[in-house]
Structure formats: C-alpha cells, structure tokens
Amino acid sequence: MSLTETAIELLRELIQNACVNDLTSDSGSEARNAETLERFFAHSDVSMQRFEPHPGRVSVAFTVEGTDPTAEPLTLLGHTDVVPVDRPKWTHDPFGADIVDGKIYGRGATDMLFITAAMAATTREIAKLRPRGSLTFVALADEEARGGLGAGWLAENYPTAISWKNCLSETGGSHLPVQDGSDALIVVVGEKGAAQRRLHVHGDAGHGSAPFSRDLTVGTIGEVARRICSIEPEVSSSELWEGYVRAFRFDSETEQQLLAGENYEALGPLARYSHAMSHLTVAPTVLRAGGAINVLPSHAWLELDIRPLPGQSQEDIDELIREALGDLADHVEIEHLITEDATLSPAEGPLYQAIVDTYDEFFPGVPVVPTIAAGGSDLRFARRLGGVGYGFALHARERSFSEVLEQLHSHDECVHVEDVELTTKAYFSLAQKFLGA
C-alpha cells in the first residue's frame, strides 16, 4: 500500500472512531483513536509515550530518534477529537467516512483528522530512513476544548516529554483568489488569543406582577448587550495584515480601503475571516437572566467571546469594555473567564523556509502569504514554551482558503481525497528535507 493510500485508510478509521468532544471532561474518548494509532505503529521503529490525565482522554506520542543529537528536531501536533454533530442536518453518515465523488465525508475530516493521518503516515515512513534529526508525532486529545486535557495539560505537567522547538499543526496550504488570476498559498504563523468575559448586572428582585419603580435587571443587561454590540475596534496595522491584503493584487483604491479597515465586501467569501484577522473581535454569545416567569430576576449576565490580536493586553480589553459601557460601567462587574494572549512565530527561520521550499516543490513560483488564525490551535503551547509553530497542509489549486474555512465544524464536513494525498506527500517531503532523512 502506498504512503497516500495508507493515510486515506487511517483517516477513515479515525473518523469512524467518533471521538466527539462536547467540552465536558467525560466526553472525547480519544482512547479509541490512540489505540488505532498504537496498532498503526506496532511494528515500526518508534518509541511511544502515552498520557491519560482523565479516563479515556488519551494523548500518545511516537518518536523516531535521530542519528545526530545536534540536528534540528521536528514535532507534528495532530489532534484526534472532533466536535459534536447535528445528525438530522447531515446527508452523509457523520462517522461513516464514506468516499463519494472524490470526497471523504465525516466529522473531523477537515478539522483536523486528514492532517493527523498524514502526520502519522509520514512518521511511520520516516522511521524506515534513519533521519539525522528526531521526529515526534503527537496525537493529542481535547484540542476542541482548548487543550486542558491534551496539549495544555502536557505542556504544563510534562513540558520536556516532547520537543516544542519546531512544530507543525493545522492548517494551511489553501489558495487565495488573487484578482489577476494568479495564485498565492496560505501559511498560518500565529493565532489570536482569548479574552473571554462574563459581565454581571444586579437589580431588584420581586414579583413579576409589580414591576413599578424597580431596577429591572433584564432592561439593564439588554442595554449592556446593545452597547457591547456597538464596539468597533480599530483595524490592525501589522505587517501580516498589510501583506495579506497586498497578496490579492487589488486596484490601489480597494487596497487602501482594506488597509484602512473598509470595504471588506471586496474580499467576497473571505470578508468575515479577513475582518477577524485584522481586528480584535467582541462577540456576545450567552445571555442569562431569570428562571420563573413570575419572578423579577435580581441577577443577569452576558458572556463575550473576545479574540485579541498580538500585542493587545487583557487590560486593554477591560478598558475597551468600560468605555463602551459608559455610565453603566460602575454597575457592571467584569469577570475574566479563559484568558490567553495571542501567539506569533516569525515568517522566517529554518522551519518556515522548509515550508516555503515544500510549497514551491508542488506549486513552483507561487507566493507564500503568512496569516494569523482567528481561532485557536495546539501550536500556541509550543510558542509559549519558546518554540515556533506553523499551520501546514496542502490543497489542490481549486481549493480556495474560504472553501477550506467553510468546512470547519460544518454539516457534511468533508475533505477531497486529492488534498489528503497532497498533504501526505507534502509532510513527507518537508520531513525528509528538514530532518536530513
């Protein structure tokens, strides 16, 4: 069986194991995918480490020892959990891994099991070649819940168990719709942070039949929500945003509008992502007040999913919220939930250059455009521990960046067989070059 056929077969089994993470500690059951991978590597020249911080939440690392301890190591961070599905809205079995019209359907097909399978197949093949540098593939649990029982737990409790120096994970290698018909390839060099907030307000309790002259909590939280929705942060002035905009080769007027944070409609299906890439975003997502219809609630709260860019502090965000609240600021308690600074790796250096060289091997002469992810990945833990981390995959020319983004957590999630093949070949090629295999 060829390298790409091996990856496709493994991908289908990983999907079928249905390791659904509903963000509770007893979900996930990534032990099933860990056991699949342990069988996959059973007769390979790799060492294995198994981590289980909670029953069933298993991460497993497979290492090919290099022959030269001074050579650069490479670590592949794949995750094995997937998000839940709304079965009635799928037209294919979400855990059947059916191949239809050149696509493999299933939850996690794109996010990120096709890359995880490519990483595993590459690692098993590299084990036959005695590379100079060491290669580690880590199949991580709990990425969809921000890694508290996966990469985050490993980084905190066993930071030296694997190398974090040079890491690859999801995602990249899709194509920008350049205006003149030429091509450009995406590589992810960083990701926004987290600044989750819960805003509490308090008012008068009482019977629902007598609201006169009471401080109505629901009215206050409604006004708080309205003011929060009116927040309009400034556009980023970073080199990443400017390089991304210029890669589209718009006319000068459109380019200047975008650099000023205007006319996102020009980016078509990438408008929403591009806005998120270039701004701190504030999204009200949860509102709670009351329980019984005949009781005036004395407490209500609003939860905010806030994603800061590199360089934006938690203090900056609290001040932004207070400014938006105006005269209500003294009546609102700001509670911090998950808070993590944005992380960024340089668009240069040995691993970044290996990505550029690999892209050029498959798409000669095509420019590479560094971007920042609006969501999170396990790569942030590598960056915090002093390493570099990049999102890396490879898609066919027809696969635009927006098409790949639309697959994430979608109904009828799928990945093209061609993209599994390309990504597997790209990982194997990069690993050979970088490790001296």
DSSP string, 52-105: EEETTEEEEEEEE--S-TTSPPEEEEEE--B----GGG-SS-TTT--EETTEEE
Q: What is the mean pLDDT of residues 14-22?
A: 98
What are φ and ψ of residue 205, in 5° steps?
-80, 165
pLDDT at 237: 86
Q: Are 188 and 372 in contact (CB under 8 A)?
A: yes
Task: Please check the confidence at residue 284 and state whether its pLDDT lies above 90.
Answer: yes
Would the pLDDT of 181 be above 90? Answer: yes
**Residue 306 and residue 201: Cα distance in Å, rounded?**
19
Mean pLDDT across 379-395: 97
Residue 393, SS3? coil
- Please count the residues of the chain: 437
13's tokens: 């089994």
pTM, 2 dp: 0.93
Under the banding of pLDDT at 50, 70 and 90, the label for residue 282 is: very high
Can you give the pLDDT at residue 209?
95
The upper half-sphere exposure of residue 282, i.e. CA atoms within 13 Å in the direction of its Cβ, equals 21
On the question of a cis peptide bond just before residue 171, with omega within 30 degrees of 0, the verdict is yes
Distance CA 118, CA 424 (A): 4
Asked if residues 36 and 17 have their Cβ atoms less than 8 Å apart, the reply is yes
The per-residue pLDDT of the chain, averaged, comes to 96
Return d(Cα 105, Cα 28) in angstroms, integer.
Answer: 20
Domain 194-339: assigned CATH number = 3.30.70.360
Provide mean pLDDT across the span 356-379. Answer: 96
Please name which of 325, 409, 363, 396 lies closest in space to residue 174, comparing C-alpha atoms: 396
For residues 14-39, give the mean pLDDT: 97
- What CATH number belongs to 3-179+342-435? 3.40.630.10
Chain segment 137-160, per-residue pLDDT in tens: 999 999 999 999 999 999 999 999
* 3-179+342-435 and 194-339 share one fold: no
SS3 117: helix
What mean pLDDT do residues 298-324 have? 97
pLDDT(375) > 90: no
Share of the chain above pLDDT 70, in %: 100
The predicted pLDDT at position 314 comes to 97
Average pLDDT (174-192) is 96
Dump pLDDT digits (tens) for 222-269. 999 999 999 999 998 899 999 999 999 999 999 999 999 999 999 999
Instruction: Tell me: pLDDT of 437 over 90.
Output: no
Cα(74)–Cα(12) distance, integer angstroms: 26
Q: What is the pLDDT of residue 226?
A: 98
Mean pLDDT within 208-220: 95
Report the C-alpha dihedral over residues 225, 227, 228, 231, rounded to 10 degrees. 160
Torsion of CA 145, 146, 151, 152, to 10 degrees: -120
Q: Do residues 280 and 312 touch, judged by C-beta distance below 8 A?
A: yes
Average pLDDT score over residue span 428-437: 96
Cβ atoms of 155 and 381 within 8 Å: the answer is yes
Encode pLDDT of 74-128 as tens digits: 999 999 999 999 999 999 999 999 999 999 999 999 999 999 999 999 999 999 9
Cα dihedral angle (325, 326, 332, 335), rounded to 10 degrees?
60
Backbone angles phi, psi at 82, to 5 degrees: -135, 160
Report the DSSP pairing between strands 281-289 and 135-140. unpaired
Give residue 309's pLDDT. 96
Report the pLDDT value the prediction gives residue 329, as an integer from 0 to 100: 97
pLDDT at 1 over 90: no
Using the predicted structure, report yes or no on whether residue 171 has a pLDDT greater than 90: no
d(CA 208, CA 313): 42
Q: For the chain, what are the domain ranges? A: 3-179+342-435, 194-339
Q: Taking 90 as the threshold, does the pLDDT of residue 399 lie above it? A: yes
Q: Tell me how far CA of residue 388 lies from CA of 118, 132, 233, in angstroms.
A: 20, 20, 29
